[in-house]
Amino acid sequence: MSVLVANCPSCGAPVEFKSGQSIVVICSYCRSAVARTDRELKDLGKVAELVETGSPLDVGLRGKWKDVPFELTGRAQLGHEMGGQWDEWYATFSNGWLGWLAEAQGRFYITFQYPIPEGVQLPSFEQLQLGQQVPGLPWPTPLMVAETGRATALGAKGEIPYLLTPGATYYYADLSGADSAFGTLDYNETPPLVFLGQQVTLADLGITTTRAPEREERRVGAAQLSCPHCGGPLELRAPDKTERVTCPNCNSLLDVNQGQLQFLKALEKPSFQPVIPIGTSGDVPEGKMTVIGAMSRSVTIEGTQYFWSEYLLYNPQIGFRWLVQSDEQWNYVRAVPPGEVTESGKSAKYQHQYYRMFQDAQCNVECVLGEFYWKVEAGEKVRGVDYIRPPYMLSKEVSTVYVTDDGGKQRRTTGEINWSLGTYVPVPQIEKAFSVSGLPRPSNVAPNQPYKYGWIYKYWIIFLLITLLAGFFTFIVSGSTKEVFSQTVNFAPLPNEDGTQVFFSEPFQLEGRRNIEVVGESPVQNTWVYLEGDLINDETGVVQSFPIDISYYQGVEDGEAWSEGGQTDSAYTSSMPAGRYVLRLEGQWEKWQQPAVVTVKIEQNVPHGFNLLAALIGLSIVPAIMVFYHISFERRRWSESMFGGGDDSDDDD
């Protein structure tokens, strides 16, 4: 590392280039950007004072990335054309690496410059499309364009590894990919410079800074200001992040720039009243958050305008989140990296889960109240696409803006894709979290409302399996089938058509706790034999009656053979107390003038599926009813979608 010490060409104060890779150093006395060239130091002009963003980082801070120590040697503050700014920190590594550490919305991204692989031609800025994959980049996972924009160099501190000119603008594209991959295409040069890396935490960078607690303390504190239009008191709850705020006294829309308020325009009387007042704090799944802004939005589908409300939540440690109220249904929403989501046809994939497209429409901002971290105003339009997987909703918002260069001669399109993940929250939970009462109850099914009886299918399967196991177990332990009686009975012809013949068997032994099957068999052909049977306990007098109905018919009709019935019939009875029994059979048959022959067999411990079938049917009654309710529930859900759809049973309670 070669150290160059010289005097600032503007004020003469000493400036020091500690890193050999530094091109510009900011004079700490006069804030001039001093560039070193081959021959001399050059004054590029004064940079603006850095906007206090409450960053936990600072020039001189040391850390470690992939076991290589680094030091933050410079900082540049860049402005976004939509308002707001972000910081870029330059990390000089002990092994000569030079890293870029970007900080925006409380998130950190470390990137390194990569050479463009040979033969790869990157698209020009004009060719870039939001959402497109950029081929040929030296990164293991695909990277897609998540944002295009124009940055303006606002301020700087320390040493900068490129020729930073105060006020200069350049175009860039931010890339996003799976596994927190992040990249930037810097169109300040042609071909663009490629920076690739990933989203990180301060812990990943081995940075432990004592500034963080100070920062949080400062950021938590709200700023008390006066409205420049009406002079009324106005509180900024996120003063270092807010870009727009509406005055609660005169309803003016105010621009926020470094804590200074500027009147933009007077808004009409708000068309909606937030059901959760601005300033209300509540306990959401991630911690305590405060409602700092609210907006009414709308979408027009088939000529009908539908409205919903969004509440911006803020906590310095957590960042921004949203509560969305639509048709009296609520969602808790957080942003997800665009590169983590893959769209394919009418589905999207996020964290290995597929979501189904539900809505695709242009969304409009109707009314804004409170603070926002971007320059929002009524009339703002974005394309919104919702995908659902109850209880989640994955939403994409694509916004585009037009910027002009060279005195309006050149017009370019920039924009960004924002993905968010909403989680369905029942109304009582919102009431409890934000200590509000009387919120209206929904009468319809929300797009991502979970079907709360989905558990019954799992329970049903579990109990079916248990029943089958129980059947198998009892079959194993109860032993084999045992024949206890068998005899062929010859009945004499009946005295008349209505007469009967009776047979009593010799006594035989039955075991207790064993079911009984009586099988009758007769060589009947196109006729029937009916037996009224009784098992009589010779000792106790208990009688178990059963019928045996044997009928068999066959023939040929229109050249086709047919048959009906069979030459055997059986009857099952429950077990009887163990003891000595007599079988009584009283027979009747169609051809009464002829004798009848019937072979009767009695077996015990016979496998019989009827009980099992009855148990399975019993277990299935409630789930079967719930299937109809589920279908109705899903129909109501999808009736609100422009894509229709069928039932969806992937929910959990």
Partner 1 sequence: MLKKLYTLFAIGVVSLYSMAAMFGWEITGGSRRQLPPDARQNGYRSFHFWHYGLHGGK
Q: Footprint of partner 1 on this chain (CB under 8 A)?
A: 453, 455-456, 459, 463, 466-467, 470-471, 474-475, 478, 500, 502, 504, 513-516, 532, 536, 540-547, 571-575, 584, 586, 604-605, 608, 610-612, 614-615, 618-619, 622, 653
Which CB atom, from 97 or from 453, has the smaller least distance to partner 1? 453
Which CB atom, from 27 or from 516, has the smaller least distance to partner 1? 516
Count CB-CB contacts under 10 A for residue 522: 26
Q: If we measure between CA atoms, which residue out of 455, 335, 453, 463 comes closest to residue 394?
A: 335
Structure tokens at 220: 């938590």
Residue 458, C-beta contacts closer than 8 angstroms, at least 6 positions apart? none
At residue 464, the 3 state secondary structure works out as helix
Residue 536 C-beta: closest distance to partner 1, Å: 7
Q: What is the 3-state secondary structure (H, E, C) of 242-256?
A: CCEEECCCCCEEEEE
Residue 253 C-beta: closest distance to partner 1, Å: 50
Residue 546 C-beta: closest distance to partner 1, Å: 4
Which CB atom, from 214 or from 483, has the smaller least distance to partner 1? 483
Which CB atom, from 323 or from 445, has the smaller least distance to partner 1? 445
At residue 362, the 3 state secondary structure works out as strand
Which CB atom, from 279 or from 577, has the smaller least distance to partner 1? 577
Which CB atom, from 402 or from 455, has the smaller least distance to partner 1? 455
Count CB-CB contacts under 10 A for residue 418: 16
Residue 449 C-beta: closest distance to partner 1, Å: 17
Q: Annotate 195-228 with b (16+ C-beta within 10 A) or e (fewer).
A: bbbbbbebebbebebeebeebeeebeeeeebebe
Indicate left, alpha or beta for 371 from its phi (over 0: left) and psi (-120 to 50: alpha). Answer: beta
Q: Determine phi and psi for 255, rounding to 5 degrees.
A: -90, 140
Which CB atom, from 319 or from 520, has the smaller least distance to partner 1? 520
**CB 185, CB 172: distance < 8 Å:** yes
Residue 630 C-beta: closest distance to partner 1, Å: 13
Alpha carbon dihedral 12, 17, 21, 27, in 10-degree steps, equals: -50
Residue 503 C-beta: closest distance to partner 1, Å: 11
Residue 542 C-beta: closest distance to partner 1, Å: 6
C-alpha 408/C-alpha 61 separation (Å) is 42
**CB 636, CB 480: distance < 8 Å:** no
Which CB atom, from 572 or from 643, has the smaller least distance to partner 1? 572
Q: Annotate 108-119 with b (16+ C-beta within 10 A) or e (fewer).
A: bbbbebeebeee
At residue 467, the 3 state secondary structure works out as helix
Which CB atom, from 547 or from 555, has the smaller least distance to partner 1? 547
Residue 496 C-beta: closest distance to partner 1, Å: 14
Which CB atom, from 410 or from 540, has the smaller least distance to partner 1? 540
Residue 584 C-beta: closest distance to partner 1, Å: 8
**CB 74, CB 57: distance < 8 Å:** no
Which CB atom, from 302 or from 498, has the smaller least distance to partner 1? 498
How far is residue 610 from each of residues 267, 452, 510, 614, 624, measured CA to CA in Å? Answer: 75, 33, 22, 6, 20
Residue 474 C-beta: closest distance to partner 1, Å: 4
**CB 623, CB 463: distance < 8 Å:** no
Residue 538 C-beta: closest distance to partner 1, Å: 8
Residue 512 C-beta: closest distance to partner 1, Å: 8
Alpha carbon dihedral 529, 530, 535, 538, in 10-degree steps, equals: -80
Which CB atom, from 455 or from 643, has the smaller least distance to partner 1? 455
C-alpha 545/C-alpha 445 separation (Å) is 56
C-alpha 87/C-alpha 101 separation (Å) is 8
